[in-house]
Amino acid sequence: MIDIHCHILPGLDDGPASIADSIDMARAAANEGIDTIIATPHYNHRYQNDKRTILEKVHALNQTLTERSIPVTILPGQEPRLFGDMLRAYETEDLLTINNLHKYIFVELPHNEVPHYTKQMLYNIQIEGLIPVIVHPERNKAILKNPDKLYDFVKNGALTQVTAASYIGRLGRNVKSFSKKIVESNLAHFIASDAHDTKKRPFHLRRAYEQLEKDFGRTARYQFEENAYLLAEGRSIMKDVPEKVRQRSLLWFS
């Protein structure tokens, strides 16, 4: 398996504080069947992890894992919070695309809202030749209340990634139900751990894939797993026509 969203680089954000903690995470990932991890440190008002810093940290961690015979490969990535000058930051090489390829870029929305300029920014990113991947939209309160926002983003070319912990219910019943609904509506394209450590925010990725297979069958699981590899390689992913989330399924929000 490949985990496309993980905070495994030491000392950069709210993930592991030390290289020893990163090693523990890599061992836990290997035990879960994960062979490749895209390291995605935060880039926001609190953490300014630029492209050069991330590439250096990825190289160093890969060397360490090789020395310890831990069968996990780290690829570079980043989790930038949406902001007005994203494309300018990309031009100045502060922002990093997935695996440093000119293809996919993560976009994190604020937890409580969808900024008014989000649609325009996602469009501008695509004009630049990149494909935005909205991470953990199932945890955004504004999207939970109005799923049509997510439908519009996906219909217009954005992709999305659901968190494993969300899908298996570790973040609450409502988030679990909504995660399943957006998968059912073809509004999700990837599942990833968003792991930060081995205890409070571990991987849960294998369990999420198993649950996905129970819910939607082996073909759905294959598509999500394959999409993770296609994303890492900068290739076109598999996706179906998006649908609106049926409002009758959202009665628990009232």
Distance CA 68, CA 231 (A): 28
Torsion of CA 16, 22, 24, 27, to 10 degrees: 140
Domains and CATH numbers, the chain: 2-253 (3.20.20.140)
Q: If you average pLDDT over every residue of the chain, what do you get?
A: 96
pLDDT of residue 253: 42
Write the pLDDT tens digit of every residue in 166-192: 999 999 999 999 999 999 999 999 999
pLDDT of residue 89: 97
**Burial of residue 243 (number of CB atoms within 10 Å: 0-12, 13-18, 19+):** middle
Distance CA 214, CA 238 (A): 20
Could you give phi then psi for residue 74, rounded to 5 degrees?
-100, 130
pLDDT of residue 44: 93
Q: Above pLDDT 70, what percent of the chain?
A: 97
Write the pLDDT tens digit of every residue in 134-171: 999 999 999 999 999 999 999 999 999 999 999 999 99
For residue 204, pLDDT over 60 is answered with yes
Write the pLDDT tens digit of every residue in 11-61: 999 999 999 999 999 999 999 999 999 999 999 989 999 999 999 999 999
pLDDT of residue 247: 65
pTM of the model: 0.95
Write the pLDDT tens digit of every residue in 36-45: 999 999 999 8
What does each C-alpha distance from 209 to 3, 164, 220, 247 come to in angstroms? 11, 8, 9, 26
